Amino acid sequence: MQTKVIIIGAGPIGLEVASVLKQNNIDYLQFDAGQIGHTFLKWPRNTLFYSSPEWIAIAGIPIHTPEQFRITGEQYLAYLRQVAEVLDLPVHTYERVVDISGSQGDFTVSTEKRGERAAYRCSSIILATGGLDRPRKLNIPGEDLSHVSHFFDLPHRYFRQRLLIVGGRNSAVEAAIRSWRAGANVTLSYRRHELSKEKVLDRLHLEINLLIEKQQIRFLPNTEPVRFANRTALLHTSEGFESEIETDFVYLATGFEQDQSLLRNTGIQLIEPENTPRYDRQTMQTNVPGIYIAGTAVGGSQREFTEFITTGHVHSSRILTALTGRGSAVTGNLPGRNYSLTPGDIE
C-alpha cells in the first residue's frame, strides 16, 4: 500500500499529528504496537495526572470533567478514544513496525500483526513512539523474582505486607503514601540524602515528610539495593556499609527508558547522555531526511524530564510546515484556553 506519510505511535501527540494531517488533507497511515495511548495502560489505577487538563488536551478538543480537576489515567484513555472517534482517526493498532528501509520519498515500512507481515510505502515518516517503553533495570541479583516489580498496581495488594519502595521522586513518593494508607508497612529507600523539593510535588513532599517524621513510613536515605532474596533485600549505604531488611514485596520506581531500536536501525544519531535523537527543532526532521520525530520521543530516555505532552503540541505545526510550507494546525486546546508554557513552568 502507498501513502504520503506514515505515523508510528498513537499516543496523545501521535493522534494530534494525525488530526493535523487529516485536517490538511494529507494522506497518511498510523500504526501502534499496542492500543492507542498504550503507555497509560501501565499506570497504576486511579493515578492522577500531575498536569492540568488544559495542558494535556489535544487537537482542539477540551477535557471536561464534573470536578473541574486533574484527571486519572483511565479518564485520559477515555478522552483519547473520544478524540479518535470524534475526528474519525483510523489507527492500525496492535501492528508493530519492525523495520524501515529506503530513503526520503520512497520509504518501506514493514509491520507485524499476530505473526503476519505487511509492507507499506510512503514518502515521509513521523516517529511519535514516546519514551517510556520499558523499565530502567538495576541489573542486580533477584530483580526478576516474582515479588519484585517495576510496575505499581493497586495498593490493596500490599495490605498488611512489608513493602520496600526504591526511588525518591513523584512515583515512588505517591506509591509510598497510597500503600501506607491502604495498610502496608512501607519502607522507602533512596540513593540521595533527602527527598528533593525540586523533584517532588509540593503536596507530596509535605505529606511524605510528615509521615516519615511521625514514623509511619520508614525512610532509608543514602541507600541502594544490591540484591533481592525471597524475603529480604540487601541495601548498600553511601558510607560503604550493607544492611539487610525484611520485605514481602518490592516496587522499583526507577523510571522507564525508550526503545531505540527503530531509531538506531534507521540511522538516527543518538546524543549522550540521554541518547536524545538528533533533530532540527524548527522542522522536527531528524538527521535522516524524510524522517521526523514528535512528542516525548524527542527526549530519548529522559532521566531529567524536559519533554511532556504539553511541550509536544508545537511539533505538529512544525512538521506540517516542513511537509507543505504552511503551518495551519489546531493543536493543544481551544484558542480561548491557550497560554504559553515553557518546560520550566511544569517541572
Specify the 3-state DSSP secondary structure of 283. coil
221-238 per-position pLDDT tens digit: 999 999 999 999 999 998
Domain termination site, one of 252, 279, 304: 252
State whether 53 and 162 are in the same domain: no
CB 279 within 8 A of CB 126: no
Domain holding 264, by residue range, is 5-134+256-346
Question: Are residues 269 and 335 located together in one domain of the fold?
Answer: yes
SS (H, E, C) 332-347: CCCHHHCCCCCHHHHC
Both 30 and 72 in a single domain? Answer: yes
Does position 343 have pLDDT exceeding 60, yes or no? no
**Concatenated DSSP letters of 137-204:** ----TTTTSTTEESS---GGGGTTSEEEEE--SHHHHHHHHHHHHTT-EEEEE-SSSS--TTTS-HHH
- For residue 340, pLDDT over 90 is answered with no
Residues 127 and 141 in one domain: no
User: For the residues of 292-314, what is the DSSP string, one character each?
Assistant: EE-GGGGG-S-SS----HHHHHH
**pLDDT computed for residue 65 by the predictor:** 87
How confident is residue 81, by pLDDT bands cut at 50, 70 and 90?
A: very high
pLDDT digits (tens, 9 = 90+) for 128-168: 999 888 899 999 999 999 999 999 989 999 999 999 999 99
Do 128 and 10 share a domain, yes or no?
A: yes
Q: Which of 201, 219, 252 is the last residue of a domain?
A: 252
Whether residue 124 sits in one domain with residue 11: yes
Nearest in space to 186 (alpha carbons), one of 171, 169, 206, 166: 166
Give the end of a domain, one of 252, 274, 309. Answer: 252
Q: Are residues 125 and 271 in the same domain?
A: yes
* Backbone torsion region of residue 25, taken as left when φ is above 0, otherwise alpha when ψ lies between -120 and 50, otherwise beta: left
CATH of the domain at 150: 3.50.50.60
Is the pLDDT at 241 greater than 90? The verdict is no
CA distance 239 to 259: 35
Number of domains in the chain: 2
